[in-house]
Amino acid sequence: MSSMSIQNIPVRRITGEETTLAEFQGEVMLVVNVASKCGLTPQYEGLENLYRKYRDRGFVITGFPSNDFAGQEPGSNEEIQSFCSLNYSVDFPLYEKITVVGEEKHPLYDALIEAKPTSVKPDGEPFTEKLIRFGVQPNSEPEILWNFEKFVVARNGAVAARFSPDTKPDDPALVSAIESELAK
């Protein structure tokens, strides 16, 4: 798989325009599948803080809403956009709702997962155990586990790292991966 392929995959902005992630070529990207009604939804605040902290250094977060996990993103693109700006002042780019697991998975997520089949997980109780406690049968890697899984994409479009959904935006491992890519 060429390092440029992720940037060339067609995506749509949340407002409907066709585009690709090539508009961020030369920047470090954090690609996150997001949802408005998830226990992890407050991560939007931390993500926005990360974006504000590093965007002047060539960093961008791209949020891809997905309704693949317990129906936690039922809204229309307009509702999602409004929720994110009203509740979390989200200023980073959001994209149209897509599918990130299974047969109907968006080509962007096929490429991200193929590049990084496993995720870095924070210390403590594995998120899979928490899901099982809530009566959810977790996906096995390489599939996306839940909302707010994070992919760090290098300036050249190569996938540098993948972090599990419960990795908070200010987690030292995630921040370090971003800073290390920004330094290149």
Range of the domain at 106: 5-182
Angle at 79 between CA 78 and CA 84, to 5 degrees: 100
31 beta partners: 62, 151
Catalytic residues: 38
Backbone angles phi, psi at 66, to 5 degrees: -145, 140
pLDDT digits (tens, 9 = 90+) for 113-130: 999 999 999 999 999 999
- Find all residues with CB under 8 Å of 104, minimum gap 6, and list them: none
Total count of domains within the chain: 1
What would you measure as the largest C-alpha separation in the chain, in angstroms? 43
pLDDT digits (tens, 9 = 90+) for 124-171: 999 999 999 999 999 999 999 999 999 999 999 999 999 999 999 999
User: Is the model's pLDDT at 33 over the cut of 60?
Assistant: yes
User: Is the model's pLDDT at 4 over the cut of 60?
Assistant: no
User: Is the model's pLDDT at 108 over the cut of 90?
Assistant: yes
Q: How far apart are CA 90 and CA 84, in angstroms?
A: 5
CATH number for position 175:
3.40.30.10
